[in-house]
Amino acid sequence: MALMTGEQYEESLRKLNLQVYMFGEKVENVVDNPILRPSMNSVKMTYELAQQPEYEDLMTTTSAITGNKINRFNTIHMSTEDLVKKVKMQRLLGQKTASCFQRCVGMDAFNAEYSTTYETDKKYGTEYHKRFKEFMRFVEENDYTVDGAMTDPKGDRGLPPSKQADPDLYLRVVERREDGVVVRGAKCHQTGMTNSHEVLVMPTQAMKPEDKDYAISFAVPTDTEGIIIIVGRQSCDTRKLEENADMDLGNREFGGMEALVVFDDVFVPNERIFLNGETEFAGMLVERFAGYHRQSYGGCKVGVGDVLIGAAALIAEYNGVPRVSHIKDKLIEMTHLNETLYSCGIACSSEGYPTESGNYIIDLLLANVCKQNVTRFPYEIVRLAEDIAGGLMVTAPSEQDLRDEKVGKYVEKYLKGVKSVSTENRLRILRLIENLSLGTAAVGYRTESMHGAGSPQAQRIMISRQGNLEHKKELAKTIANIKE
Residue 131 is predicted with a pLDDT of 98
The tens digit of pLDDT for each residue in 381-395 reads 999 999 999 999 999
Residue 158 is predicted with a pLDDT of 96
Separation of alpha carbons 240 and 248, rounded Å: 9
In a domain, 35, yes or no: no
In a domain, 324, yes or no: yes
Confidence band of 440 (pLDDT split at 50, 70, 90): confident
Residue 38 has pLDDT above 90, yes or no: yes
Percentage above 90 pLDDT, the chain: 97
In a domain, 142, yes or no: no
DSSP characters for 228-292?
Answer: EEEEPP-TTGGGGGSTT-TGGGSSSS-----EEEEEEEEEEEGGGEEEES-GGGHHHHHHHHHHH
Separation of alpha carbons 299 and 398, rounded Å: 33
Q: Give me the catalytic one of 100, 344, 348, 370.
A: 100
Residue 30 is predicted with a pLDDT of 98
CATH at residue 346:
1.20.140.10
Q: Give me the catalytic one of 104, 236, 348, 370.
A: 104
258 is catalytic: yes
Mean pLDDT of 71-89: 98
The tens digit of pLDDT for each residue in 334-344 reads 999 999 999 99
In a domain, 364, yes or no: yes
The tens digit of pLDDT for each residue in 249-300 reads 999 999 999 999 999 999 999 999 999 999 999 999 999 999 999 999 999 9
Q: Give me the catalytic one of 47, 118, 297, 342.
A: 297
Percentage above 70 pLDDT, the chain: 100
Q: Give me the catalytic one of 140, 236, 293, 370.
A: 293
The tens digit of pLDDT for each residue in 171-219 reads 999 999 999 999 999 999 999 999 999 999 999 999 999 999 999 999 9
Residue 362 has pLDDT above 90, yes or no: yes
Mean pLDDT of 339-356: 98
The tens digit of pLDDT for each residue in 303-325 reads 999 999 999 999 999 999 999 99
What is the span of the domain harbouring residue 464?
Answer: 285-474
Question: What angle do the packed helices 282-319 and 364-374 form, to 10 degrees?
Answer: 40
191 is in an annotated binding site: yes
This prediction's pTM:
0.97
Q: Give me the catalytic one of 198, 258, 386, 434.
A: 258
Residue 101 is predicted with a pLDDT of 97
Residue 420 is predicted with a pLDDT of 98
In a domain, 307, yes or no: yes
The tens digit of pLDDT for each residue in 151-175 reads 999 999 999 999 999 999 999 999 9
The tens digit of pLDDT for each residue in 132-151 reads 999 999 999 999 999 999 99
Confidence band of 442 (pLDDT split at 50, 70, 90): confident
In a domain, 222, yes or no: no
Mean pLDDT of the chain: 97
Residue 444 is predicted with a pLDDT of 82
In the chain, how many domains are there?
1
What CA–CA distances, in Å, run from 86 to 54, 72, 163, 303, 372?
16, 7, 39, 13, 19
In a domain, 185, yes or no: no
Confidence band of 1 (pLDDT split at 50, 70, 90): low
297 is catalytic: yes
Sign of CA dihedral 226, 46, 137, 81: negative
Separation of alpha carbons 457 and 249, rounded Å: 34
300 is catalytic: yes
448 is catalytic: yes
Q: Give me the catalytic one of 60, 116, 191, 440.
A: 191
Residue 439 has pLDDT above 90, yes or no: no
In a domain, 357, yes or no: yes
